[in-house]
């Protein structure tokens, strides 16, 4: 997929005239970006807005971006972002499409409150669905998106492009996320900087290879070419559908391998023995619980390296054996990741926050082995550990297995965990919005 030179270069020049609002210990390429509501701007014809809906597997999010094009022919400057979200995601409304559309309408009101009425007709609104919708049967996904959501857009006062609603290709999502983080690509550093994203239904890895060996050994379909600064770059990027955190839970529980799940309770060594609960994902209800004394667990493993869990067994080792079978031998392991720096976000960030490994607002720096250490601590004390999520042990163990045995990271690989960069939500939406403005001829 080709990325226009202007769109990619834009990622390097986002700035703000009110950068004194923030104090940062370390300068970044997003220096000075701020929430537009914190620093009023002069609304004029040179002020541009873009509305991007991110329809993910666990929630629907809206990004309302403000840009200023100070002089004709110059690249617009990002002024700020208004962000909001609703849960659950649209995929949960597959059989109640109108209820799903109501969540989109609710977020549209946020856009109307954020953008001056004079700019409504020239502000594009689009929705891009990710892995959660890609997992649904095509006919149901199409009915939900095109017959319902697009109709909501048509009734709105905003500019609605022909392709205003679509299910986004995983590689496009990956490239835009990477561009949002690596605006220093054209700088002096030769270090490979990559991104890791862990959603509910899928997981992504993206980085710029520095060695010819990586390019030669990468499978077909894992490399994407794009142009920037009059040069062509090959980006390693891949989205693994079904390997998101919540999809992995179902695989670890054996729920995806068992027909006729009604009446079944899926048991796991990753859950407290006393637990009996139900969980809804993708519109399906699952009964689950811990391995009870005197009863055989329903989980199993076909891999000799991950033996059957014993009756009543719980803790890190048997839990890790369960999650290991989800990823082992199923993901490509590029050698170069051992010598690369990576940003990690989404559920990597959330689970690190949940266990006090990083600060919610500031994020932090962790090593892969820190996830394993915390997983052991939580899993080996399941009966005493209090958490808002009964899946915390399973999730931390899965993250460990995904990083180490899935992608092949070493235990001492450093991860920069972040949720925002100078108050701008991380992810693909920023690059995609600017590219949208260019494609519509709104920015030049």
Q: How far apart are CA 419 and CA 207, in angstroms?
A: 19
pLDDT value, residue 411 = 93
Active site annotation includes 31: no
Let me know if residue 4 belongs to a domain: no
pLDDT value, residue 40 = 38
pTM summary value: 0.69
Let me know if residue 11 belongs to a domain: no
**What CATH number does the domain containing 273 carry?**
3.30.420.150
Which token pair is 302?
């076909």
Q: How far apart are CA 323 and CA 379, in angstroms?
A: 13
- Same domain for 436 and 408, yes or no, is no
DSSP state of 348: H
Which H or E run contains 218? none
pLDDT value, residue 73 = 63
Enclosing domain of residue 382: 186-421
Q: What is the b/e burial string over 327-345, where b = at least 16 CB atoms within 10 angstroms of the residue's CB?
A: beeebeebebbeebbbbbb
Q: Is 25 exposed, middle or buried (0-12, 13-18, 19+ CB in 10 A)?
A: exposed
- Same domain for 300 and 328, yes or no, is yes
**Binding annotation:** 200-204
- Same domain for 316 and 395, yes or no, is yes
Which residues of the chain register pLDDT less than 70? 1-45, 72-75, 131, 170-171, 179-192, 226-231, 256-263, 293-312, 385-387, 421-423, 425-426, 443-444
pLDDT value, residue 382 = 85
- Same domain for 75 and 217, yes or no, is no
User: Per the structure, how many domains does the chain have?
Assistant: 2
Let me know if residue 278 belongs to a domain: yes
**What CATH number does the domain containing 131 carry?**
3.30.420.40
- Same domain for 288 and 365, yes or no, is yes
- From 173, 322, 336, 372, the catalytic residue: 173
Let me know if residue 354 belongs to a domain: yes
Let me know if residue 193 belongs to a domain: yes
Instruction: Give residues with Cβ within 8 angstroms of 369, minimum separation 6.
Output: 411, 412
- Same domain for 279 and 379, yes or no, is yes
Let me know if residue 18 belongs to a domain: no
Let me know if residue 3 belongs to a domain: no
- Same domain for 145 and 250, yes or no, is no
**Binding annotation for ATP:** 200-204
C-beta separation of 178 from 196 below 8 A: no
- Same domain for 351 and 232, yes or no, is yes
Residue 278 pairs in a beta bridge with: 287
């Amino acid at each position: 997929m080709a990325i226009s030179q202007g769109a990619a270069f834009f990622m390097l020049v986002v700035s703000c005239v009110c950068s004194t609002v923030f104090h940062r210990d370390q300068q970044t390429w997003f220096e000075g970006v701020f929430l537009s509501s914190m620093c009023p701007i002069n609304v004029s014809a040179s002020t541009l807005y873009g509305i991007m809906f991110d329809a993910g597997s666990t929630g629907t999010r809206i990004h309302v971006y403000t840009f200023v094009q100070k002089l004709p022919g110059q690249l617009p400057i990002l002024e700020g972002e208004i962000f909001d979200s609703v849960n659950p995601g649209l995929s949960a409304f597959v059989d109640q499409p109108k209820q799903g559309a109501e969540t989109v309408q609710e977020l549209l009101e946020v856009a109307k409150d954020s953008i001056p009425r004079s700019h409504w007709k020239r502000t594009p609104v689009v929705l891009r669905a990710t892995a959660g919708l890609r997992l649904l049967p095509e006919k149901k996904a199409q009915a939900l998106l095109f017959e319902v959501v697009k109709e909501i857009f048509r009734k709105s006062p905003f500019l609605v492009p022909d392709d205003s609603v679509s299910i986004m290709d995983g590689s496009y999502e990956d490239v835009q996320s990477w561009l949002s983080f690596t605006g220093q690509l054209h700088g002096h550093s030769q270090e490979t900087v990559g991104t890791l994203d862990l959603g509910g239904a899928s997981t992504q890895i993206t980085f710029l290879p520095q060695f010819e060996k990586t390019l030669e050994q990468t499978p077909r379909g894992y490399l994407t070419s794009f142009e920037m600064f009059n040069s062509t770059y090959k980006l390693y990027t891949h989205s693994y559908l079904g390997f998101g955190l919540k999809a992995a839970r179902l695989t670890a529980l054996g729920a995806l391998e068992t027909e006729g799940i009604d009446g079944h309770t899926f048991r796991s060594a990753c859950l407290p023995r006393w637990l009996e609960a139900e969980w809804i994902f993708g519109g399906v209800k699952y009964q689950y619980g811990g391995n009870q004394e005197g009863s055989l667990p329903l989980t199993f493993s076909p891999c000799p390296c991950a033996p059957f869990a014993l009756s009543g067994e719980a803790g890190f080792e048997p839990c890790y054996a369960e999650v290991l079978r989800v990823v082992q031998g199923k993901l490509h392991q590029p050698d170069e990741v051992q010598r690369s720096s990576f940003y990690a976000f989404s559920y990597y960030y959330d689970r690190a926050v949940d266990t006090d490994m990083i600060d919610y607002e500031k994020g932090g720096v962790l090593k892969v082995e820190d996830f394993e250490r915390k997983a052991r601590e939580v899993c080996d004390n399941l009966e005493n550990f209090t958490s808002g999520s009964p899946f915390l042990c399973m999730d931390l163990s899965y993250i460990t297995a995904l990083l180490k045995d899935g992608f092949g990271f070493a235990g001492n690989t450093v991860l920069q965990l972040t949720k925002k960069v100078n108050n701008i939500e991380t992810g693909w939406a920023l690059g995609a919005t600017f590219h949208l403005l260019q494609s519509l001829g709104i920015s030049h």
